[in-house]
Amino acid sequence: PKPENAITIAVSSRALFRMEEEQKIYNEQGVEAYVKYQLDHENEPFLPGAAFPFVKALEAVNTQLRELYPDSEELFDIVLMTNNHAQVGVRLINSINHYGLFIERFCMTGGNSPICYLKAYHTNLYLSSDAEKVSGAIEEGIAAATIFSPSKDLEVSEEQLRVAFDGDAVLFSDESEQIVKAHGLDMFFEHEKAHENKPLAQ
């Protein structure tokens, strides 16, 4: 799909795949040892990460949309966003091919923060395991969320897309939340009753 027509979701490599061991090498031994490890293991696919089922579900929705509306380009477009170097990209691409993921666009920044690239990719949503980068994206006006690795194995559908949005400060303004914090629940209920026919701001 053309980026201007698609809903573009940028996913970090560490959200899409499990890279804890590699990150440990990077933190303890430095970038050279990290790159060498990745090159030595480039034909060994990464294990699926926390965002993997979500990406698979997006692809399942795309398949259905293509069947229902073959001429439409209003699809989900997944961009792999990583601050890795190109040498590491070979293993990422091999992993994507191994799992048959439909990801055609990559942004490999070679150590730079990916935040400045998000707008260039027309990103609608950025998912990362790095809370600092997520905060940076939000400050740039891009919807973003931190992906946490579950502490135990969870069965998540890869066929159905299920998304739960927080109402306060996500879908709607945080005015109700601010009233609770500043004045407590009693004032909140009073305020809500008085304004029940007035919609919350976006």
Among candidate residues 77, 153, 166, 168, the one labeled active-site is: 166
Q: Distance between CA 20 and CA 49 in Å, rounded? A: 10
| Active-site annotation holds for 174 | no
Q: Could you tell me the CA-to-CA distances from 170 to 84, 144, 174, 175, 202 in Å, in that order?
A: 30, 10, 8, 11, 8
Q: Which 8-state DSSP code applies to residue 45?
A: P
Residue in this structure with the two tokens 């993997």, named with its chain if needed = 52
The residue count of the chain comes to 202
Strand ranges (E), 72-140: 76-82, 105-108, 123-128
- Give the residue numbers annotated as catalytic, written as ranges: 166
